[in-house]
Amino acid sequence: MSVIEVEHLTKDYGSGRGVFDVSFHVDSGEVFGFLGPNGAGKSTTIRHLMGFSRPDCGQARILGKESFGKYHQILGRVGYIPGELALPAALTGWEFLRMMQDMHGKHNDELLTKLLRMFELDPSGRIRHMSFGSKRKLAVVSAFMNDPEVLILDEPTSGLDPVMQQVFIDYIKNEKKRGKTILLSSHIFSEVDATCDRIAIIKDGKIVSDFIADDLKHAEMKNYRIVFSCQEEYSRFCRTARTVSFLSQLEGKPSECAVVVSVHDSHINDFVSLISGFSVTGFEHLKVTLEDYFMSYYKEDKDFGGALTR
């Protein structure tokens, strides 16, 4: 069953801004990653799911209920971390947490204490005086403290240090085991890589890719970078490579005596025997990372936009 559904969602803010015909769904117990640069439409989509905004056409649904019309039936079952925090500055952290508990009518102090300890947050000070990281932690704790069945997280770890990011990842993994349905938008690829089952990439308000995370990790064609001891060995390899069927050369850098080749897993032993005949000083498997994959969707902008030259 799909717990989170977005169907042909369109919100046109004019001058090409907004989201256009966005469709995806997150099944029960699934963690769904939502990637895209700032301004691509991640937060707009998420805010429609939360019922904050009325779509021009299409709709967003959570637990089968249409978000904009029935948000009051949904909010109590959803934990939400907004991308831009706007917390009541005059309250203390405690006052804020108590207020949120009262609003939801749930007071799970055991879980709250556990979360405060896990995220090393002391909520006794006024929010006004909290650092950016502490405010983030406060939002994280308040989204999790009622143990909601759906989590909608918009860049939840921006500003948290690597130790806290790891705590966060571990918590999400555990929530996933407990059957929670999670939508995670993030700029941090390692976090998405570690937690998500499926990933969608949004660009200029449109979904450009929707794929299963493991497919990327277990690609059977692999790229390797090999560095040779000298120019002669490099040239000899390049000549040989042309005659070998199981290998294709993607790149050659004579100045560094280095090549990049692509080999299917089934030929790894042939590949090793081939290399053993050369004098090699470096060998590296170039993993196709989520980051590479993500960047490939934006490469065009880099080449033509000028503003993003690498």
Partner 1 sequence: MKNVIELKDLTKDYGNGRGIFDISLNIAEGEMVGFAGTNGSGKTTTIRHIMGFVKPTSGAAYVYGKEAWKHSSEFVRKIGYVPGEIAFPDFATGTAFLKSRAEYLGVRDMSYAEKLIERLQLDPSASLKRMSKGMKQKTAIVAALIGDPEILLLDEPTTGLDPLMRSAFIDIIKEEHARGKTIFMSSHMFEELEATCDRVALIANGRIADIVSLDEIRHPARREYKIEFKSPEDYNRFKGLGYEIVRDQPQYSQVTVSIGSNDLNNLFSDLTAFDIRFISEVKYNLDTYFRKRLNKNLEKETEEYVQ
Total residues contacting partner 1 by CB under 8 A comes to 45
Stretch that binds partner 1, among 44-52, 65-73, 242-250, 287-295 (CB under 8 A): 287-295
Contact 205, 19 (CB under 8 A): yes
Smallest separation (angstroms) from partner 1 to the CB of 109: 26
Contact 5, 170 (CB under 8 A): no
Could you give the CA distance from residue 297 to residue 143 in angstroms, rounded to a whole number?
Answer: 32
| Residue that has been written with the tokens 């102090």 in this structure | 109
Could you give the CA distance from residue 41 to residue 187 in angstroms, rounded to a whole number?
Answer: 13
Per CB under 8 A, 17 contacts partner 1: no
Encode burial over 163-178: b for 16+ CB neighbours within 10 A, e otherwise.
ebbebbbebbeebbee
Per CB under 8 A, 18 contacts partner 1: no
Among 187, 206, 236, 264, binds partner 1 (CB under 8 A): 187
Q: Which is nearer to partner 1, 132 or 211 (CB)?
A: 132
Q: Which is nearer to partner 1, 38 or 255 (CB)?
A: 38
155, burial (CB in 10 Å: exposed 0-12, middle 13-18, buried 19+):
buried
Per CB under 8 A, 132 contacts partner 1: yes
Q: Which is nearer to partner 1, 109 or 300 (CB)?
A: 300
Contact 161, 9 (CB under 8 A): no
Site mask for partner 1 (CB under 8 A), range 68-97, x = bound? ---------------xx-------------
Per CB under 8 A, 37 contacts partner 1: yes
Per CB under 8 A, 298 contacts partner 1: yes
Contact 49, 2 (CB under 8 A): no
Could you give the CA distance from residue 90 to residue 126 in angstroms, rounded to a whole number?
Answer: 6
Contact positions with partner 1 (CB under 8 A) in 200-239: 222
Contact positions with partner 1 (CB under 8 A) in 255-284: 265, 268-269, 272-273, 275-276, 278-284
Contact 100, 141 (CB under 8 A): no
- Interface positions with partner 1 (CB under 8 A): 36-38, 83-84, 131-133, 158-165, 187, 189, 222, 265, 268-269, 272-273, 275-276, 278-285, 287, 291, 294-295, 298, 301, 306-310
